Structure 1
Amino acid sequence: MPSFDIVSKTDLAEVDNALDGVRREIGTRFDFKGSKVTLEHKEAAITIIADDEMKLRQVQELVRGYFVRRKLDPKALDFADSERASGNTVRQVVTVKQGIDRELAKSVVKAVKDSKLKVQTAIQGDELRITGKKRDDLQAAMNVVRGLEVDRPVQFINFRD
């Protein structure tokens, strides 16, 4: 039976490349001259430290822009609330979303079932598998999932006939 998997993965090497581009641009921009702005990346968390809220917002926009340039979806970024840090600076933790959580999986399953397609959906950890008898039904299920407004990027992998 034909099947495919729905996943949500972000390439962390590309995230590093995007953050390197942001660091280079911060080093060359005049409005960041003399300010203390740092970006740290550890696993799925990015920590931004800036002098004030205005510079923090500018760094956020730079990060989003460089994600788009590196062909990463900025919806994968989850910006937490900013907090005061030592030395009159502002710190913000940004998490890079990986995997499909339970609530999103349930909403995708519900949308596929409501579309009345002849496919079966199964939640497998942080992935979703959709199987059906016809390739056309699977492609229609892909279009249903693409039409959903989800808070993270989704990819379709392992399409098997």
Structure 2
Amino acid sequence: MASFDIVSEVDAQELDNAVNNLIKEVSNRYDFRGTNTEVELNKKDKKISLVTSDDMKVKALKEMLVGAFVKRNIDPACLSYSEPEPTSKGQLKFTAEVQEGIDKDTGKKIVKMIKDAKMKVQGSIMDDKVRVQGKKIDDLQEVIQMMKQADLGVPLQFVNMKS
């Protein structure tokens, strides 16, 4: 029986590269000179902490972070931002958390979409991924196309294809 897994994950090396590109871009941009803007990646928790001087720079940092993610082929939909909080030095601090894994509700939506499509495949939730099994590879490819068009709020990858 053929199968594949639907996952939502981010390559740690590409994440590190994207953050390093952002740091380099911040150091080179004229509007960030003298603002003591800090960008730091916590690799273990996959959280990016950002500190800058004002609301306009917060918005610019978010846009630059999305641009750095797109350049490294990481879907920016995996980011969730915290509200900017003032620091003791009069700056604003916020975090961008990288979301990984498919939560239970999204997994249930995916399985329901697969069942509603009335194809000869089965979807089953396995921790933070969804395994899809079927007899024909063509059916599995139809499921992949259907998932690519669905807007579930999380970036999806299709891995571990076995025939």
Query: Does residue 1:94 correspond to 2:110, yes or no?
Result: no
Q: Which residue of 1 aligns with 2:10?
A: 10
3-state DSSP class of the match of 1:24?
helix
Q: Which residue of 2 aligns with 1:20?
A: 20
Unpaired runs of 5+ in structure 1?
none
Task: Tell me which of 78, 81, 89 is aligned to 1:79.
Answer: 81
The 5-angstrom pairing of residues 5-154 of structure 1 reads: 5-42=5-42, 43=44, 44-154=46-156
How many angstroms does 1:76 deviate by? 1.1
3-state DSSP class of the match of 2:154?
coil
The amino acid across from 1:59 in the alignment is: L
3-state DSSP class of the match of 2:158?
strand
Unpaired runs of 5+ in structure 2?
none
Identity of matched residues, %: 37
**How many Å separate the matches in 1 of 2:127 and 2:138?**
26
The amino acid across from 1:16 in the alignment is: D
RMSD: 0.9
Aligned positions, number: 161
3-state DSSP class of the match of 1:108?
helix
3-state DSSP class of the match of 1:153?
coil
Deviation per residue, 1:49-91 (Å, 9 max, x gap): 1111111111111110010001111111111221122211111
Q: Which residue of 1 aligns with 2:159?
A: 157
TM-score, structure 1 normalization: 0.96
3-state DSSP class of the match of 2:35?
coil
